[in-house]
């Protein structure tokens, strides 16, 4: 059976896309990144993903954005969509139902929802006085951060943590979690 084809949507630095790409290259995930989608060509992730040898499509916002994204993903033969630091709502619809996943830098449902991304999540965890944080990989549905959880990985919140230090520790967990969750999704789809 040939490797699954992944589509990755990014909005920033592309670190999660690069992590997934490397996991595929190492053979940890039986897949390959067929396409990376971004909305702005100047974001750091576009240059970084291209430098790593990934095909990148820049699809600017505007009329018919969801259709244009769908068309690009379908043309690339994508079977599984991975949102990786993607800060826009992705239209799942019937086409991508059960075939779209996201990684969130916090434990859901407590630290998710519209507007909860990046350092905002880590600040909220610290402000809530939590002793534990982590990341959640979940299926994507039509609501922000509400799809079924595929897996989560946890880490301690240290007394002297800043949002930045907590973010770094959570990202270490994300680098393990996303490839593992992709393997789980692909096994389910192939099972």
User: Which residues does residue 139 pair with via DSSP β-bridges, in sequence order?
Assistant: 101
Model pTM score: 0.94
Report pLDDT digits (tens) over 138-157.
Answer: 999 988 888 999 999 999 99
Above 50 in pLDDT, residue 190? no
Share of the chain above pLDDT 70, in %: 98
User: Which residues does residue 83 pair with via DSSP β-bridges, in sequence order?
Assistant: 9, 102
Please identify which of the residues 104, 114, 122, 138 carries the catalytic annotation: 104
Give me the residue spans of the domains in the chain: 4-190
Active site residue 114: no
What are the helix (H) ranges across the chain?
15-26, 44-51, 65-75, 119-127, 163-190
Q: Into which CATH architecture does domain 4-190 fall?
A: 3-Layer(aba) Sandwich (3.40)
Query: According to the model, what pLDDT value does residue 139 have?
Result: 96
Query: According to the model, what pLDDT value does residue 3 have?
Result: 87
């Amino acid at each position: 059976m040939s490797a699954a084809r992944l589509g990755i949507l990014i909005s920033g630095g592309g670190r999660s896309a690069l992590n997934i790409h490397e996991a595929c290259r190492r053979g940890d995930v039986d897949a390959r990144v067929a396409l990376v989608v971004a909305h702005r060509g100047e974001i750091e992730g576009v240059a970084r993903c291209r430098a790593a040898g990934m095909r990148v499509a820049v699809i600017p916002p505007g009329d018919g954005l969801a259709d244009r994204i769908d068309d690009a993903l379908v043309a690339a033969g994508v079977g599984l969509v991975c949102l990786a630091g993607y800060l826009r709502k992705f239209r799942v619809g019937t086409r991508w139902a059960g075939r779209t996943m996201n990684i969130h830098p916090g434990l859901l449902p407590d630290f998710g929802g519209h507007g909860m991304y990046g350092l905002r999540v880590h600040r909220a965890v610290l402000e809530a006085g939590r002793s534990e944080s982590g990341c959640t990989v979940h299926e994507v549905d039509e609501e922000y951060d509400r799809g079924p959880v595929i897996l989560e990985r946890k880490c301690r919140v240290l007394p002297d943590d800043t949002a930045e230090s907590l973010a770094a520790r959570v990202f270490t967990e994300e680098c393990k979690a996303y490839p593992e969750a992709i393997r789980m999704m692909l096994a389910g789809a192939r099972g």
